[in-house]
Amino acid sequence: MKTYNRKKGNQGELIAEVFLKNQGYRIRDKNYFKKSGEIDLIVEKGQYIIFVEVKFRNNLDYGYPREAVTVSKQKKILKTALWYIKEKRLDQFGFRFDVIEIYFENGQQRINHLENAFSY
């Protein structure tokens, strides 16, 4: 099951990456990992570094993908983002946390980019 979930996650991240590039974002990092957690995509646009959580679902049987970004998950992303900021010495940038949800509805792929999905 983990292999299937990782494969599905990779598929969603690739879709999100292409989407963000088409919107003028520059990809800085993918799958940044620390003990505190993982950040799917780290992108840059203007004076902002954006930490992006990607959620992909084949259907809405279990709700919208964004609903899986719980407060607990947000805290993990924040801790991991702080490591990234410190390591890369990015004090000069503004930061935000986005969620990209990808799902299928009525046979159509939907992508929602939720900017400032949560704050720190």
pLDDT tens digit sequence for 12-64: 999 999 999 999 999 999 999 999 999 999 999 999 999 999 999 998 999 99
Give CA–CA dist 69/87, Å, rounded.
25
- Name the residue ranges covered by the structural domains of the chain: 2-118
Q: Do the beta carbons of residue 36 and residue 83 sit within 8 Å?
A: yes
pLDDT of amino acid 33: 97
Q: Do the beta carbons of residue 42 and residue 28 sit within 8 Å?
A: yes
Correct CATH for 2-118 of 3.40.50.300, 3.40.50.10880, 3.40.1350.10, 1.10.490.10: 3.40.1350.10
pLDDT of amino acid 53: 98
Residue 24's CB: how many other CB atoms inside 10 A?
9
